[in-house]
Amino acid sequence: MSKQIKLKKGFDIRLVGKAEKKIGDFQSVKTFAIKPTDFIGMQRPKVIVKEGDTVKAGSPILFDKKLEKVQYVAPVSGEIVEIKRGEKRALLEIKILADSEINFEDFEKYTDADIAAASREKLVDHMTATGVWPQIIQRPYGVVANPEDEPKNIFISGFDTHPLAPDYDFLFKGQANYFQAGINVLKKLTEGKIYLGLSGESKSSEFANIQGVETNYFSGPHPSGNVGVQIHHIAPINKGETIWTLNPYGVVQIGKLFTNGQYDASKLIALTGSEIKTPVYAQTYIGSCVDSYVAGNTKTDNIRVISGNVLTGEKINRDGYLGFYDHQLTLIPEGDYYEFLGWMKPTTEKLSYHKALGLLSFLNPKKEYVLDSNVRGEERAFVQTGVFESVTPMDIYPVYLLKAIMAEDFDEMEELGIYEVIEEDLALCEFVDVSKHPVQEIVRKGIELIQFS
């Protein structure tokens, strides 16, 4: 039975630059890259190609020695033009010069009856060998799931509430049949339920009629679209339990693999932010170079390019590569300046959660803002104000959890909910923090302390 859950805690960061629901005409992207840094927890990547090799979409190029069964594959066909390494030969990127026409590895096709008759082991082996398995993320820890585990439940969030987030109904329009096929596969991987979270404020959804899932509706400010928040309110994680999560894109990709017998890495991404001339959507593939979308398409030169959203995304170069899990590219002004006593100047041009002297944004709650990357301050004493709790719609105490992590108090971390969160769940705390702490870095430190203890 579905639930209607209204969340009051949280905060919507309203920015200029929402993508218009149309697909722009851009120059073809020539290079693509797989970045091991996109896969949190990957410790010992092993490259199985060399420069000059030719690959097809779906050809294995990389695996993690810790999970050798899981293959990371090429998103497009073409030539391996660079295997880029950093300090101590750490693997940074595997770059592919794409063919003008994408050629695919041919994999086995499955009908609905084939999926129903197949064993769990066979389905898992097929998914790990063909590149779709990294779409499955494990909670706790927020890492690529271990195929040897069996999850208690599987959760999918069917909407996104991050700043300038893409519209999922537009992103996955016409792909409900692939989504259903993906659900049919996932049902074989757990004895528990598959939970689908949809927006309670949307009039319709591309996934509203999907079978084999328990659909729940969430409304309220960000982070109501976060799968971690949805897990917390439907079936919370307890110590020793494992839950798997997927983005709808991952479910669709699984469905395409089993239906068409191809690793299809094509995707729509939203080009957003105040500094982009034409905020629209672009058709591309996983790991695309963003130069085609940035060059000649910015209002100014002094910008920050972010793969993802402004809360949890990664800063990249103008010729950098889109993250594996990202469906959004955001361009905002670079905040490389100092503003003397800027926080004291009365203005309506700055957005703040706090009704402070210099920030009057609360007088116009619907206004959209042009915000830059300036944090306007430096790290200082960790002040207990209660504001973290007001933007975290979960029954945890964020400040005490963060302090327990900083003190490396394992018992306190467990009691205060470390198993329930990853970085994105407390990203708003970093935005509203007057003490300017790197909240998401602290959360990841805590997760790693628990995971490897």
Contact predicate 225/199, CB 8 Å: yes
Let me know whether 441 and 409 are in one domain. yes
pLDDT value at position 375? 79
CB atoms within 10 A of CB 407: 10
Let me know whether 235 and 362 are in one domain. no
pLDDT value at position 381? 79
Q: In what order do the strands lie in the sheet with 137-139?
A: 4-6, 214-219, 194-199, 153-157, 243-246, 137-139, 143-144
Q: What does each C-alpha distance from 62 to 15, 47, 351 come to in angstroms?
A: 38, 5, 43
376 pLDDT tier (thresholds 50, 70, 90): confident
162 pLDDT tier (thresholds 50, 70, 90): very high
The mean per-residue pLDDT over the stretch 241-251 comes to 97
Residue 333 lies in a domain: no
Let me know whether 116 and 202 are in one domain. yes
**Of the residues 332, 367, 402, the one at which a domain ends:** 367
The mean per-residue pLDDT over the stretch 205-220 comes to 93
Let me know whether 220 and 140 are in one domain. yes
Residue 319 lies in a domain: no
**Of the residues 47, 78, 98, the one at which a domain ends:** 98
Residue 284 lies in a domain: no
Contact predicate 371/386, CB 8 Å: no
Measure the CA angle with vertex 177, ends 175 and 178; round to 5°. 70
Q: What is the pTM of this model?
A: 0.95
Let me know whether 65 and 10 are in one domain. no
Residue 279 lies in a domain: no
CATH number at residue 77: 2.40.50
Give 163-217 as a 3 state SS string: CCCCCHHHHCCCCHHHHHHHHHHHHHHCCCCEEEEEECCCCCCCCCCCCCCEEEE
- Three-state SS for 420? helix
Is the per-residue pLDDT at 355 higher than 70?
A: no
pLDDT value at position 57? 98
Helices 398-406 and 439-451: crossing angle in degrees, nearest 10, is 60
Let me know whether 241 and 353 are in one domain. no
Let me know whether 155 and 251 are in one domain. yes
Residue 80 lies in a domain: yes
Residue 302 lies in a domain: no
Residue 278 lies in a domain: no
**Of the residues 72, 98, 124, the one at which a domain ends:** 98
Let me know whether 122 and 90 are in one domain. no
410's CB contacts (< 8 A; 6+ apart) are 449, 450, 453
CA atoms within 13 A on the CB side of 337: 10
Let me know whether 158 and 215 are in one domain. yes
Q: Which domain holds residue 80?
A: 31-98
Let me know whether 18 and 91 are in one domain. no
Residue 153 lies in a domain: yes
pLDDT value at position 434? 84
Let me know whether 17 and 39 are in one domain. no
What would you measure as the largest C-alpha separation in the chain, in angstroms?
68
Let me know whether 210 and 85 are in one domain. no
Is the per-residue pLDDT at 362 higher than 70?
A: no
Q: Per this entry, what is the length of the chain?
A: 453
357 pLDDT tier (thresholds 50, 70, 90): very low
The number of distinct structural domains making up the chain is: 4
Burial label for 43, CB within 10 Å (0-12, 13-18, 19+), is exposed
CA torsion, ordered 445, 449, 451, 453, to nearest 10 deg: 170
Distance CA 51, CA 153 (A): 41
Which candidate, 273, 297, 282, 262, places its Cα nearest to that of 327?
282
Contact predicate 225/202, CB 8 Å: no
